[in-house]
Amino acid sequence: MAQTGRTKLAAVIGWPVGHSISPRLHGYWLSHHGVDGAYVPLAVRPGDLAETLRLLPRIGFVGFNVTVPHKQAVLALVDEADPEARAIGAVNTVIVETNGRLRGKNTDAFGFLQGLRSGFPDWDPGHGPVVVIGAGGASRAVCAALVGAGVSELRLVNRTEARAEGVARDIGDSVTCVPWRRRGAALEGAALVVNTTTQGMTGESPLDLDLAALPTAAAVMDIVYAPLETPLLADARARGNRVIDGLGMILHQGRPGFAAWFGAEPEVTEELRRYILAGLDDGK
């Protein structure tokens, strides 16, 4: 749709921001829904963050996404943050309210659960223990989502154990930390394993995890989406486990922001997945 003087504006704020798939994602939905809107990447230095947040509503932005390295800092800068964003300790979506106040949300937990359910529609928290690898920002969203969905035993494994203990403290009693050297044994009896580390991403080494103890009935999900099939997922697939890639999570996390800013409920379809994957291949 052609833009007009009334075009609604949204953005993604990051430093750098060139890697973000959000402009392509929201651009697809804007044109699919025929919305008079625009979604632009804004490269904002950490030192300019507070000023940018105050300026955007004044010049007509209806909201924005926040990416690396600003997600934690924005939590402290918004006027109000949803309880989930506070529990996760990060904001990835900001909505400008009619009075100009900034409301911070975290939609990564929602995106994760939707991504999990789109790859495994029958997944049920009662299936059994879940093992989460990694204790960074992504892990906090994944753990909050799993515990919120009703998982009663979450085994958290991270190379730096103190970080895992910090996540366990913030997320709750269902999280038990398992030492990194026992990560293989942590898979015994598990129903689901989720990699939230950067290992397996293009340019990084594969996740060092021996799947021998994992039941073949278990599912393995990787939140890395480039490549779509990480070495972990290839390994899991070869031994007969169900695998779920990370693309669903990143696409679904964009839905609540789009709906709030532009007033249309966007969907994640096979066509959208293909469109985003073609962009990843072209480096867009």
Dihedral sign of CA atoms 262, 264, 265, 267 in order? negative
- In the complex, least distance from residue 20 CB atom to ligand ATR, rounded to whole angstroms: 13
Stretch that binds ligand ATR, among 7-15, 120-128, 192-200, 249-257 (CB under 6 A): 192-200
61-66 vs 93-96, strand pairing mode = antiparallel
Binding to ligand ATR by residue 135, rule CB under 6 A? yes
Residue nearer to ligand ATR on the CB measure, 136 or 148? 136
Beta partners for 104?
81, 94
Tallying the residues shown for the chain, one arrives at: 284
Rule CB under 6 A: say whether 167 interacts with ligand ATR. Answer: no
Alpha carbons 80 and 206: distance in angstroms, whole number: 39
* Coil, strand or helix at 12: strand
Nearest residue (CB) to ligand ATR, 174 versus 195: 195
CB 193 within 8 A of CB 239: no
Q: Which of 65, 199, 230, 241 binds ligand ATR (CB under 6 A)?
A: 199
Per the annotation, the verdict on 8 as an active-site residue is no
The residue among 196 and 230 lying less far from ligand ATR, judged by its C-beta, is 196
DSSP state of 206: P
Place of tokens 């486990």: 241
Task: Give the Cα separation of 184 and 157 in Å (integer).
Answer: 10
Q: Does 138 bind ligand ATR (CB under 6 A)?
A: yes
Applying CB under 6 A, the site for ligand ATR has a residue count of 14
The CB-nearest residue to ligand ATR is 136
Q: Which of 8, 71, 105, 284 is catalytic?
A: 71
Using CB under 6 A as the binding rule, whether residue 72 contacts ligand ATR is answered as no
* CA atoms within 13 Å, Cβ hemisphere of 46: 6
Q: Which part of the chain contacts ligand ATR (CB under 6 A), choosing from 40-48, 152-160, 170-178, 226-234? A: 152-160
For residue 125, say if its preceding peptide bond is cis, omega within 30 degrees of 0. no
Question: Which of 63, 115, 119, 134 is the binder for ligand ATR (CB under 6 A)?
Answer: 134
Rounded to 5, what percent of the chain is helix, strand, coil?
45, 20, 40
Q: Does 14 bind ligand ATR (CB under 6 A)?
A: no
Residue 222 pairs in a beta bridge with 195
Q: Report the residue number, 68 or 217, with the smaller CB distance to ligand ATR.
A: 68
Q: Considering beta carbons, is residue 199 or 253 the nearer one to ligand ATR?
A: 199
Q: Provide the annotated active-site residues.
A: 71
Residues that bind ligand ATR (CB under 6 A): 134-139, 158-160, 163, 196-199
